[in-house]
Chain A
């Protein structure tokens, strides 16, 4: 029996898994749909992790290109989003390490740089700037766990798959990140009152 040709497929209604299959069958337009679905969330996560748009866009671009090249290895055990975040997390970790080395190499005043990287853009609100400052002050591991859980809203199982870290350790990191954030925001308010 010959299989019917499927014409006029509505890419917008296709699940990620179907789009992956379409790409692997040669329909590269399906990958554009995947990019449009996930680029904003990936850029947001990378920006919150790395603190600036330039590094975030580089990490996100590299993530999509790596995902594209390795698409045949995607397995449906996890959602495409989880798989994509697995790559993105690694790109962000690498970018952070690379940036640390770069800073050391040029003997830049770390404190001044940290100030500059969190300084709010002119249009950003004070609240957003304060939040970004608090996020930046977290340990990278805690920041990663906090963002995945509370901002990207991944389940702990998805987080474990994406990070390669056990669920209990992730819960602990999220808890510590929350405590630290709460403390920092409270301190920030106290210092605002004092000024």
Chain B
């Protein structure tokens, strides 16, 4: 945890965007790699790198089905990831409350 209480794994623009996007899905749902890439606007290489960091933290789960050109990679937020995003949102609200207006939705 960083000094300001914001989880450093999440507190980076691309990973924050990834976490929030995945959190928009109901629990138990997952997104294909290509749809997620489309939603967050990252190159495949960058997306893979950020997903690996989130995966290592246990915040997302990636699954690969099939092989070759038809292989499908799916990504979902884990319960630990959802809880971490909730904690991040709470910490961010507290920081912004002290600083002034502009709160995360």
Are the chains A and B members of one assembly? Answer: no
A-binding residues in B (CB < 8 A)? none
Q: Which residues of A contact B (CB under 8 A)?
A: none
